[in-house]
Amino acid sequence: MPDHHQLSNFIWQIADLLRGPYRPPQYERVMLPMTVLRRFDCVLAKSKTQVLAEYDRRKERLQGEALDSRLNAVAGQRFHNHSPLDFARLKADPDHINRHLPDYIDGFSKNVRDIFDYFDFKSEIAKMHEANILYLVVAKFCDIDLHPDVVDNIQMGLLFEDLIRRFNEAANETAGDYFT
């Protein structure tokens, strides 16, 4: 099992792809949402087929919270994704990634979509696409296995803490500001 320092270093190397269109203090606009998105993708991988089948059965009869609740139960989580896309499929179609990545995010349950709305991540997707780095970033994240069997919740928390510390250091924040 990789430790959070190894993962953080790998993700920080991916952040180097952002150099140019982003300054180091802005890396977190992409790297935190991408890390969260990849974690969600890994968590939901085992139930993906069942969720898609249930979505096809129920999408005409259920909507909103009722549908989300049913699909969450099938996923065995407090969230789900009913998009046929995942990171592997996104990586396999570089020519359409700028359309597919927002569609993939829209396939999540409302509680997860709200997270990405808070990050205003769709505007970052457009910015990365314009800079010709969107596919490179997604492809690199596809290489990270953040499944809970590989990276447990404690390691994941330490990973986020380390990334946030690095982002704050890049923004010249004082020591300890990242804890608040």
> Which has more confidence, 25 or 173?
25
Q: In the chain, what percentage of residues exceed pLDDT 90? A: 78
Can you tell me the mean pLDDT for 136-163?
94
Half-sphere exposure of 55 (CA within 13 A, CB side): 19
Question: What does the pLDDT read at residue 175?
Answer: 46
- pLDDT digit string, tens, across residues 59-79: 999 999 999 999 999 999 999
- pLDDT digit string, tens, across residues 74-95: 999 999 999 999 999 999 999 9
pLDDT surpassing 90 at residue 24? no
Tell me the pTM.
Answer: 0.90
> Would you state the torsion angle of the CA atoms of residues 60, 62, 64, 70, taken in this order, to the nearest 10 degrees?
-120
Distance CA 152, CA 169 (A): 26
pLDDT band at 12 (very low <50, low <70, confident <90, very high): confident
Segment among 19-23, 33-37, 80-84, 132-136 with least mean pLDDT = 19-23
